[in-house]
Amino acid sequence: MLFNSLAFLVFLPIVFGLYWFVFNKRLSWQNGLLLIASYFFYGWWSWQFMALLALSTFLDYVYGFSVASLNRKRARLFLWLSIINNLGILAVFKYYNFFALQFQQGFDTLGLHIHPTLLEVALPIGISFYTFHGMSYVFDIYRGRQKPVTNFIEYAVFVSFFPLLVAGPIERATHLLPQIQQRRSFSYRQAAEGCRLILWGMFKKVVVADSLAGIADGIFNNYTEHNGLTLILGAIAFSFQIYGDFSGYSDIALGTAKLFGFELLSNFKFPYFSRDIAEFWRRWHISLSSWFRDYLYIPLGGSKGGKLKAVKNTFIIFLVSGFWHGASWNFIAWGFIHACGFLPLLLMNRNRTHVNEVVAADRLFPNGKELLQMFTTFCFVTFAWIFFRIHDIAAALDYTKSIFTNFHNQAEALSYLSIFLYIIPLLVIDWQFRRNERRLEIRKRNIFIALSSRVVLYAIYTLTAMFLLNSIIQKENVSFIYFQF
């Protein structure tokens, strides 16, 4: 079920009403309703894979008790069983065909021709997310940060909670499970914040991302016919398309969770205002990058043991992160490019320069140095997005080469400047709320600025409703990009 669909617009108020007005007498009833609603939400897309979700959930629930054993050998055994189980599910459904084809090509170079059997099955939506939920739960039990959950429904809600089930954020058991286990009461303020986040996320998706998608697709799919300046605009369009699409999904997820009394982990904190690549990765897909940091980078030794080990572990993290996005060499190349961009910061001990502070936190505008840093970081990220967008690495290199060598008919690019009609409002509003991505409220002492900003916000919400209604009527509900991962 898509957030930007008529089905969801009917589903959400029904579940909300039942949750707060019918099943509100007991916590167990509310959790049971959330579990049923979550499986219904998932099964709306494909009921066949509900059994896979249930199996993954059950196995990690059972493993958790053995991983908590005081016998460390037994605990380690079941920890590895959980890892093998979760990575095995990913390997079969997401990576089997990729590796089978790579082996086939390898044997072909040796003159040996094999014909591996390929899986002709769609990738189960959300598989990369819910398997990581399960692994984080088992890891945290092994480390003593989380006790095994005895109530299966509570654990199953943690894994399958419908706002985050198919595209995150990737939650931690230590953060979400306590909220599932405690009594929840309705908060008007929290619900209002949730509605604002949902509307803002819808704006990013149906107005910005979906509008830019047609432009970006037209340029990327026919890049040999366009000049360098148009190709640059195409890359910029995709940069904001994927940002609007994925961060929009995350905003809707966070907002929807708020309606039910939950606070999910932040997944985006205005990444295009980053001043270097390290800061970008602290602000882009935060739940994934922090997951790899806590459960892979640190166990590998992190930065302990000298620069050489830190460099090795950094490249491992970025390459694995790229491969997590899909079974294709272009995603690995994308991760490698980001690793190369991160490397100078690591070697100069500048990778933690911008950890907590927001750019121009106490000023209305950034200074010249900050503008240059944000611009160069955005250019690097946009260059890397070319390899993310084009699955053929040779074609991605050709696209990049054409930017610097194809100068015919430069006036053509003027017809694509319309992308900034979507990008500029998004940047202006993002800048307004850069200090807190969850509080889309106007609080200014200057009444004129406050009223003007409020008018702009409500105009955006109205525009969003119009675009969403039109897409529903035209039956053009565009799926979210990260559903394929």
- Distances, alpha carbon 115 to alpha carbons 93, 104, 322, in Å: 19, 7, 28
Exposure letters 197-221 (e unless 16+ CB within 10 A, then b): bbbbbbbbbbbbbbbbbebbebbbe
Quick one: tokens of 210? 């979906």
Residue 50 CB burial class (10 angstroms; 0-12, 13-18, ≥19): middle
Q: How far apart are CA 291 and CA 321, in angstroms?
A: 10
Residue 394 CB burial class (10 angstroms; 0-12, 13-18, ≥19): exposed
CA atoms within 13 A on the CB side of 253: 27
Length of the chain as a residue count: 485
Catalytic residues: 325
Residue 121 φ then ψ, to 5° = -140, 145
Supply the Cα-derived Rg of the chain in whole angstroms. Answer: 23
